[in-house]
Amino acid sequence: MNLTQLFDLSLQGRAAQPALEFQGVSYSFGDIEARANRTAHWLLDQGVSRGDRICVYLPNCLEIVDLFLACTRTGVIFVPVNILYRDREIQHILGDAKPSLFVNDCAMLADAAAKPSTRPALPALEGDDIAAIVYTSGTTGVSKGAMLTHNNFLANATNLVTCWQITSADRLLLPLPLFHVHGLGNGIPCWLATGFHVRLLERFEHSTATEQFLDYQPTLFFGVPTMYVRLLETAPEAARQIGARMRLWVSGSAPLPPQVLDDFQKLFGHTILERYGMTETLMNISNPYTGERRAGTVGFPLPGVSVRILDADGNDIAPDATGELHLKGPNLFAGYWGREQATRDAFRDGWFKTGDMGTRAEDGYITLQGRKSDLIISSGFNIYPREVEEFLLEQPEVAEAAVIGVPDPRKGEIPVAFIVPRPGASLDGLEERCRQNLASFKVPKQMVTVDKLPRTALGKVQKHILASQMP
């Protein structure tokens, strides 16, 4: 089975049913199907075929959905690119994925409207065929393309629909960017696997969030913690009305502070369900839909997902001890595109090394306790300090640089750079140059000038000491 067959099963007899709303326009499932077919014909007319890649650099819009669905039925591989990426980051992905097509303007698809709305002759796609390659910032300073198969998306959608009791009666408000798996890997497949209704937003705007919720009256919401922090600003009466319609609030991509879960429960009358996912694995672990949604934990492995928590020697740790989470399951990616060695390095005896540290209580609840690497997660976006440090060290005025994550009440963490300038050099133009070359969320929010960086005897920067030197 492939994704299209899963979606067809759920959409039978729903052609006339309202499916999705975007920018005030409503589309039926029949419209979505016709658009996907026209886009599939358009792709084939561009000379793109099964196994080729297309890079999609678009803000949230219907064309992203059209292209994703066209890819899942033609066997073309969908490669979303974060629209915050600058030229330097985009060039890396283009060089790595070597796409046949780079779609960065919806107008490019204009003549798709004239294509036939019937399905093109399609190759029989296997479940292990790659549906998408999603780039995730690399621990080595460059991002790697995680190959996600039809079976990965299928297993994930089946798990979430079952475990979170998602049905065709749901209404999902979807402001998450579709260039990441949180929106693309969870929101879109669950929608088509059940035929519920979606209001897609260009992005989450805290200034209009209340209005969106009151107007659309969703039952379902997937968000990152920053969105929940923002929603705590909702007026109590509006929160009560919103909460009366809502069925399920899910949080992930970064830690949800227990205090936020508690304050949210008091304001909206719902306990957020926290879960843990990754680009390489879609969804791994989730608090239960019925039962205790324990603050500060991510709950239990989803059906079919196996989790071991291992010490540095690869041994299972004792209950409540800390170790690295290792995973197995049908949700696990097929490796990093074009990087056989990095793929081998990501596994230990067949278990995927997540890089996430955690513990498992006697009753099975899993708590994440940070990353092995010095990954920074800001508003749900991943920042690998090494990537920012490498850019800073290319700048003539910089002699040494170290980037750390500093706690931030709204974003979780923000990147801060400690810089040793070259003798007599000024750092005046540095931030602007960072903004021109790095996605805005990666740009250090503070540049601290220091005479030298604290280092161990082996010369490794002691970043924990820097944190204590924050001005």
Residues interacting with ligand MLC, by CB under 6 A?
A: 59, 83-84, 176-177, 180-183, 203-204, 224, 226-227, 252-253, 277-279, 379-381, 411, 440-441
- Residues with Cβ within 8 Å of residue 349, at least 6 apart in sequence: 314
Helix boundaries (H) for 119-208: 150-163, 181, 188-194
* Residue 67 vs 201, nearer CB to ligand MLC: 201
**H or E segment at 229?**
helix 225-231
* Residue 7 vs 276, nearer CB to ligand AMP: 276
Question: Amino acid identity, residue 417?
Answer: A
* Residue 344 vs 410, nearer CB to ligand MLC: 410
**H or E segment at 283?**
strand 282-286
373, two tokens:
């690497």
* Residue 177 vs 218, nearer CB to ligand MLC: 177
Quick one: which segment of 95-103, 125-133, 269-277, 385-393 binds ligand AMP (CB under 6 A)? 269-277
- Residues with Cβ within 8 Å of residue 380, at least 6 apart in sequence: 180, 182, 224, 225, 226, 253, 254, 412
Of 57, 2, 8, 5, the C-alpha closest to 32 is: 8
- Residues with Cβ within 8 Å of residue 283, at least 6 apart in sequence: 156, 159, 160, 185, 186, 252, 275, 276, 277, 302, 331
Interatomic CA distance for residues 341 and 81, integer angstroms: 24
76 binds, among ligand AMP, ligand MLC, none (CB under 5 to 8 A by kind): none
Of 3, 37, 453, the C-alpha closest to 184 is: 3
* Residue 130 vs 368, nearer CB to ligand AMP: 368
203 binds, among ligand MLC, ligand AMP, none (CB under 5 to 8 A by kind): ligand MLC
x/- map, 377-406, ligand AMP, by CB under 6 A: x----x------------------------
Q: Which residue is nearest to ligand AMP (CB)?
A: 279
x/- map, 23-62, ligand AMP, by CB under 6 A: ----------------------------------------
Quick one: which segment of 115-123, 276-284, 309-317, 330-338 binds ligand AMP (CB under 6 A)? 276-284
Cα distances (angstroms) measured from residue 382 to each of 82, 280, 347: 11, 13, 21
356 binds, among ligand MLC, ligand AMP, none (CB under 5 to 8 A by kind): ligand AMP
Rounded to a whole number of angstroms, the CA Rg of the chain reads 22
- Residue 152 CB, nearest approach to ligand MLC (Å): 13
- Residue 412 CB, nearest approach to ligand AMP (Å): 9
Q: Which residue has the tokens 């890089």?
A: 355
Please count the residues of this chain forming the interface with ligand AMP, following the rule CB under 6 A: 18
**H or E segment at 310?**
strand 306-310
Question: Amino acid identity, residue 269?
Answer: G
Count of beta carbons in the 10 Å neighbourhood of residue 9: 12
Strand 412-421 to strand 398-408: parallel, antiparallel, or no bridges (unpaired)?
Answer: antiparallel
* Residue 44 vs 254, nearer CB to ligand MLC: 254
The torsion angle over the Cα atoms of residues 284, 287, 291 and 293, rounded to 10 degrees, is 170
Question: Amino acid identity, residue 268?
Answer: F
298 binds, among ligand MLC, ligand AMP, none (CB under 5 to 8 A by kind): ligand AMP
* Residue 255 vs 323, nearer CB to ligand AMP: 255
Burial zone of 367 (CB within 10 Å; 0-12 exposed, 13-18 middle, 19+ buried):
middle
**Strand partners for 301:** 285
156 binds, among ligand AMP, ligand MLC, none (CB under 5 to 8 A by kind): none
* Residue 194 vs 279, nearer CB to ligand AMP: 279
x/- map, 292-321, ligand AMP, by CB under 6 A: ------x-----------------------
* Residue 66 vs 274, nearer CB to ligand AMP: 274
Quick one: which segment of 98-106, 272-280, 306-314, 393-401 binds ligand AMP (CB under 6 A)? 272-280
226 binds, among ligand AMP, ligand MLC, none (CB under 5 to 8 A by kind): ligand MLC
- Using the rule CB under 6 A, which residue among 145, 183, 185, 252 binds ligand AMP? 252
- Using the rule CB under 6 A, which residue among 11, 254, 402, 419 binds ligand AMP? 254
Q: Does position 136 bind ligand AMP by CB under 6 A?
A: yes
308, two tokens:
């071991």
Which residues make up the interface to ligand AMP (CB under 6 A)? 136, 181, 252-255, 274, 276-279, 298, 354, 356, 368, 371, 377, 382
